[in-house]
Chains A and B, each alone.
Chain A
C-alpha cells in the first residue's frame, strides 16, 4: 500500500490528492491512489461532522492545517461538506471506472465528491441517458430509474437541478450545434425533428448482456436476453 514510495513521499502524495479533491471535487487517478484518497477524505469529513456536533470546530481546524495543503482554500470548504453531508453517515465519495490511460495503459478512475454542484460526472452521465430517452419518447428502464433516484436523493433541489441538466444535455449533446442561442427556439427544434437530432436512433434495447448490469439481479421470473 505504499505506491512504491517511502512514507514521507506517500504522505505528500496523499495530502496533495486530498487537497486537490477538496478544491476541484473531481479528480482522475489510478484506483490504488483513489482508494487511499477516498479513505483519507471520508475520515476527515466524518471527524469534521463529529467536531461540528461537539462545537470543537476551532480546535479541529487547527489540526487540519497539518493534514491538508492549500489551507486557505481547503479548510473553509470543510464547513460546506459538513452541511452537505448532514444526511449521510458515510459514502461521501464515488469512484467511476474509466478506460486505461493512453501511453502506459494504467487503469484510471474518476474520484468525485457525491452531490457536488460543479463537476459531478455521474450526475451528468445519468442526465445524458435520460435526455436521450426523453428525446425518443421512451420510458426509463429499471437501472436508469434507480440511478436517477440515487443521484437526486440527497441533493438540495436535486430533482429540479436534474431536470435542468437534462434540458442542457438535450441542447448540448444531441443537437448539431446550430442556432443554439435562444433556448425557446431549441425546444421547438427538438420537438419538430426528433430523429434528425440523434445521429443514431437508439431504441430502448437491453444493454447487450443484461438490462441491469448486475444491479438488482432478479433471481425469479427473469427474462433471458440472448447475446447477439
Chain B
C-alpha cells in the first residue's frame, strides 16, 4: 500500500530527500578562501528543486473542510440570505404590486412602449414597380435558416419578471 501511494522516485531524488549533512572529505584541507561557499549553493538548491526536496513546509489546510462546516459557514448566517421585501404597495394605476416610493414598473413599461412607438421614425414607403417581375428579380427574398430564426426569437436575453396584480 505504502509503496503504491508514494511517487516512484529515482535514486538521485531519494538521496535529495534525505536531510543535508556536511559531506566528509578526506584529504588536505584547503585554505578558507579556496573552499566553496556553502550558503549560495543551498539557496540555489532550494530554488531549483521542487518543494518536496527543500524540506520546508508551507502553510496549508491540514484537513478538508467538512460538508457540515462548509454549509454552516456559507448558509448559516441570516444576513447572507436573500431578504424578504416588506416595502410592497399597490400601484394606484394598474393595481399590481410595486415597491413603496418607487414607480410601478408595469406602468412605466407601458408608457415607455407607447413613447417608443410614438417617436419611431416613419416606415419607408415600398417601391412601386410597374412590372411585378422586376421586383422579383431585384428582391428575390431570403430563405432563413433554422439557426437564424432561432436568433430572431432572442430567447437568451434575460427579461424583467412581470409584475403580479394584488388580489
Known: A119-B115, A128-B111, A202-B95. A96 touches B89 (CB 8 A): no
**Taking beta carbons and an 8 Å cutoff, which residues of A are in contact with B?**
96-99, 102-103, 110, 119, 121, 124-125, 128-129, 131-132, 141, 143-144, 172-173, 200, 202, 205, 207-209, 213-214
Partner of A99 from B105, B114, B159 at Cβ < 8 Å? B105
The answer on a CB contact under 8 Å between B89 and A98 is no
Per the 8 Å Cβ criterion, residues 122-167 of B in contact with A are 158-160, 165-166
- Beyond A110-B103, A110-B108, A128-B93, 7 additional contacts (C-beta under 8 Å) are A97-B103, A102-B159, A125-B103, A125-B111, A128-B107, A141-B92, A173-B94
The answer on a CB contact under 8 Å between A213 and B101 is yes
The answer on a CB contact under 8 Å between A200 and B111 is no
Q: Within 8 Å CB of B111, what residues of A? A: 121, 124-125, 128
Known: A144-B92, A208-B89. A102 touches B158 (CB 8 A): yes
- Residue B70 interfacial (CB < 8 Å): no
The answer on a CB contact under 8 Å between B88 and A208 is yes
Known: A102-B158, A103-B158. A213 touches B102 (CB 8 A): no
**Taking beta carbons and an 8 Å cutoff, which residues of B are in contact with A?**
88-90, 92-95, 99-105, 107-108, 110-111, 114-115, 158-160, 165-166
- By beta carbon, the residue of chain B nearest A144 is B92
The docked-state distance in angstroms from the alpha carbon of A48 to that of B103 is 32
Give the distance to chain B from A150, nearest Cβ to Cβ, in Å.
15
- By beta carbon, the residue of chain A nearest B165 is A200
The docked-state distance in angstroms from the alpha carbon of A46 to that of B117 is 34
Q: Within 8 Å CB of A124, what residues of B? A: 111
Q: Within 8 Å CB of A205, what residues of B? A: 90
Enumerate 11 A-B pairs (CB-CB under 8 Å) in ascending A order.
A96-B103, A97-B101, A98-B102, A98-B103, A99-B99, A99-B160, A125-B108, A128-B107, A132-B92, A172-B114, A207-B90
The docked-state distance in angstroms from the alpha carbon of A49 to that of B110 is 36
- By beta carbon, the residue of chain A nearest B101 is A97
The answer on a CB contact under 8 Å between A207 and B115 is no
Q: Within 8 Å CB of B107, what residues of A? A: 125, 128, 173
Give the distance to chain B from A220, nearest Cβ to Cβ, in Å.
23
The docked-state distance in angstroms from the alpha carbon of A138 to that of B94 is 15
Q: Within 8 Å CB of A208, what residues of B? A: 88-90, 100, 166
The docked-state distance in angstroms from the alpha carbon of A103 to that of B160 is 9
The answer on a CB contact under 8 Å between B108 and A98 is yes
The answer on a CB contact under 8 Å between A132 and B93 is yes
Q: Within 8 Å CB of A119, what residues of B? A: 115
The answer on a CB contact under 8 Å between A102 and B110 is no
The answer on a CB contact under 8 Å between A102 and B160 is yes
